[in-house]
Structure 1
Amino acid sequence: LFLDFVCLTDVNAEVGQATLEGFQKTYGKDNAIFSRCNVVNEADFTGVFESIKSKYGKVDILVNNAGIIEEKNWRRTIDVNLVGMMQGTYLGIENMSKEHGGDGGVIINVASSAGLQPVFFSPAYCASKFGIIGFTRSWADNPSNAHNGLRFCCLCPAFTETNMMNISENSTLSIEATKKFIEYVGVNKISTVAEGFMDLLTDETNNGAVMAVTAREGIQYKIRK
């Protein structure tokens, strides 16, 4: 499997452009583009696919990774984490399925270890991640996958070295208690999560797979088909 071209998306255009410059410096100017996208805005998301198809002709891999933790604004958490992922998946199916003129491919939806077990101090976040797993596995079980060329997987990291680690500011638990919980669970290195992601991506037999990545137990398939 060779990743020739990539489209980066983010709601923050400044960060997106900076990341794009790094990609282009490493992989070549014509091998990466950036398209600003608010995942809850259908027009934005549709525009991403239009940009990709205009530049590269097709989409083979879709990663729905947008996520926030805002327990005090739980509707936004559900909109971004769950509704945004669903919108991306439906657009991916529309643009990638052989039934619609695509070449097939893989859709990887990023959930969380919080989608595999209850987390009492972040119930809205937890609900969104449980929803991602249920939605993804339901699509993976769809009989149409046999001829549409698509497969669907879920990546479920625990706490990881990203800006999502500001969870203590948005949970329903005290900052001190949240920090103690994070210390107990441990924090993933980004490289470990990337290793798990690549395994999901390259194993063409794992439609419906759900992979957990934790600092304590490493990479583990919770469901593998």
Structure 2
Amino acid sequence: TGLVLGTILGFQHMGAHKGGRGGYIINVSSILGLQPLFSMPVYSGTKWFVIGFTKSMGSEYFHNLSKVKVMAVCPGVTDTEIIKNAGKATLPTFDKLDKEAAKSLASLPPQG
């Protein structure tokens, strides 16, 4: 909800339709917003949401009204705890998915 509320707040403060001069809103997704990761469907789904929401709010319609551009960056995999604990972030219904999650994450390009 923070991304949604922050984007709307940006439109309220920067939007030409509200007396502002326009500007840029940059949302952060992930490489998992561009390609699904079967072993982490909920995490991947949230990143897909960021892309869909950003594309919608960044549409020509909203830009013409507000002079605000909305875009997303999608960095590669970062060496964080989610990589080390990939199995814990997967669906508990499926046994041994943790090994597949780790293998899937390792196959994605890392953040440079």
Give the TM interval when normalised to the shorter protein: 0.7 to 0.9
Q: Map of 1:174-193 to 2, 5 A cutoff?
A: 174=98, 176-189=99-112
Task: After TM superposition, give the deviation of residue 163 of structure 1 in Å.
Answer: 4.8
Identity of aligned residues (%): 32
Aligned residues: 106
Task: After TM superposition, give the deviation of residue 164 of structure 1 in Å.
Answer: 4.5
Q: Map of 1:31-70 to 2, 5 A cutoff?
A: none
Q: Deviations over 1:149-192 (max 9, x none)?
A: 21011111221234543451322321x33332233224213xxx
Q: Which residue of 2 aligns with 1:90?
A: 8
Q: Which amino acid aligns with 1:180?
A: K
Given that 2:30 and 2:47 are in contact with CA atoms closer than 8 Å, whether structure 1 keeps it comes out as: yes
**RMSD over aligned Cα atoms:** 2.1
Given that 2:82 and 2:89 are in contact with CA atoms closer than 8 Å, whether structure 1 keeps it comes out as: no
Structure with greater contact order relative to length (CA < 8 Å, sep ≥ 6): 2
Task: Provide closer, same or farther for how the CA distance between residues 96 and 122 of structure 1 changes in structure 2, counting only shifts above 3 A.
Answer: same
Unpaired runs of 5+ residues, structure 1, are 1-82, 190-225
Q: Which residue of 2 aligns with 1:171?
A: 90
SS in 2 for 1:152: strand
Q: Map of 1:190-209 to 2, 5 A cutoff?
A: none
Q: Which residue of 1 aligns with 2:46?
A: 128
For normalisation by structure 2, the TM-score amounts to: 0.77
Q: Distance in 2 between matches of 1:138 and 1:116?
A: 16
Task: After TM superposition, give the deviation of residue 92 of structure 1 in Å.
Answer: 1.0
Runs of 4+ in 1 over 3 A off after TM superposition: 161-167
Q: Distance in 2 between matches of 1:95 and 1:167?
A: 39
Q: Distance in 1 between matches of 2:110 and 2:61?
A: 38
Q: Distance in 1 between matches of 2:7 and 2:53?
A: 10
Task: Provide closer, same or farther for how the CA distance between residues 132 and 103 of structure 1 changes in structure 2, counting only shifts above 3 A.
Answer: same
